[in-house]
Amino acid sequence: MTSLLDKATERPHALTHRELAELLAWPDADGLFKAAYAVKCRSSGRRVAFRGLIEFGNVCEKDCFYCGIRKGNDKVRRFHMTADEIVRAAEWAHKAGYGSVVLQSGELTGETNAAFVEDVVRRIHAAAGDALGITLSLGEQSEETYRRWRKAGAHRYLLRIETSNPELYARLHPSDHSWERRRDCLRALRRCGYQVGSGVMAGLPGQTTDDLAADIEFFASEDLDMIGMGPYIPHPDTPLGKDIPWSPEAAKERLELGLRMIAATRLHLHDVNIAAATALQALDPTGREKGLLAGANVMMPNVTDNQYRADYQLYAGKPCLDENAAICRTCLERRIAAIGEEVMWNERGDSPHWRNRK
């Protein structure tokens, strides 16, 4: 049994589909996490890259069945930060020593939005230069828009495929949302020269271990640089989440599944960046630290102004709604030191996989 962990540890992409499924169900969870952590330490040291997360708007044109800010949820108070507010938050993150920021919002298309983001990215890049990495997570756009934003100074893009199984994707989205279009956007992002990230949710209704193993194979076949995965947490105001019973036991199981996905992904891909998602902390107060110890190497502390945080809830129970950015910084630094890791202050934390490919 242990030889499978040895095989995975020795070199990347060593596992078959069946072996990935075996790893995901590995009986000794601690042994699995330790093996993944050793691979993470070999690839990026005992260090954690920070990205200051700016959730700048919750208006969305899409209606994903699992998402708390889908356009059909009329209980949400909608907001969109101004360009000045976003630039200020990015400058705060830069001065606080975060080597990168992530700009995230609901999905908006059209010229007004493209020009707004282009302007914001250009201003942040002009203020901080190449010392601050700029990641965008703004959904499906035309290749031309991706190219404009790249030229303005963004250099990473996160677009979660949510599941690599097109049939499961179809059950989670209205019929005009297309899995193929999303995959094609990932390929367009690569052509535009971004470091490309994607990810899935673990624990979706109807999802199997085979699906999760196929998700990891999808990450490999698309040659992704960054992975951002979250355990699926039902949101009560969504079509998918409203009837799903939730309990402390369910949260515990979902956390373990999320950690197993991180570990198996690390053991198969080795040198990608993997985020310890905030959703892990929604399930366990030390969920993000557990994510780091299972093989993740990136954290995304929220630097969005407090007045907006409560209105950006993709899933139920999002933590740290009342803490401001300065409190988050101190709190996370302490948490990371407590597990023997250190923060990569003032470093962009580019994906080793991207560097190795270059």
Using CB under 6 A, list all residues that contact ligand SF4. 60, 62, 64, 67, 69-70, 106-107, 139, 314
To ligand SF4, the closest distance from the beta carbon of 97 in angstroms equals: 29
- Which residue, 71 or 147, is less far from ligand SF4 as judged by CB? 71
By beta-carbon proximity to ligand SF4, the closer residue of 62 and 329 is 62
Give 60 or 186: the residue with its C-beta nearer to ligand SF4: 60
Burial class (CB in 10 A: 0-12, 13-18, 19+), 110: exposed
Least distance (Å) between residue 235 CB and ligand SF4: 10
Q: What does the alpha-carbon distance between residue 68 and residue 89 come to, in Å, rounded to a whole number?
A: 24
Dist CA 81 CA 314 (whole Å):
17
Q: Which of 55/289 has CB closer to ligand SF4?
A: 55
| Shortest reach from residue 183's CB to ligand SF4, in Å | 15
Q: Between 60 and 299, whose beta carbon lies closer to ligand SF4?
A: 60
CB of 106 to ligand SF4, least distance (A): 4
Chain position carrying tokens 């983001």: 117
Cβ at position 177, least distance to ligand SF4 in Å = 8
Q: How far apart are CA 61 and CA 48, in angstroms?
A: 34
Q: State in Å, rounded, how far the first CA of the chain is from the last one.
A: 35
Alpha-carbon span 310 to 302, nearest angstrom: 12
Q: Which amino acid, residue 124?
A: I
CB of 314 to ligand SF4, least distance (A): 6
The nearest distance, CB 139 to ligand SF4, in angstroms, is: 5
**Judged by CB, which is closer to ligand SF4: 73, or 297?**
73
Q: How far is the CB of 160 from ligand SF4 (least distance, A)?
A: 8
Of the candidates 52, 121, 132, the residue with the CA atom closest to the CA atom of residue 89: 52
Q: What is the dihedral of CA 253, 257, 263, 266, to 10 degrees?
A: -160
- Apex 82 CA angle, 314 and 137, nearest 5: 40
Long-range contacts of range 329-338, CB-CB < 8 Å, 24 or more positions apart? 329/96, 329/301, 332/50, 332/288, 332/299, 332/301, 335/286, 335/288, 335/289, 336/48, 336/289, 336/292, 336/299, 338/289
Q: Which is nearer to ligand SF4, 156 or 290 (CB)?
A: 156
Q: Is 139 or 241 the residue whose CB approaches ligand SF4 more closely?
A: 139
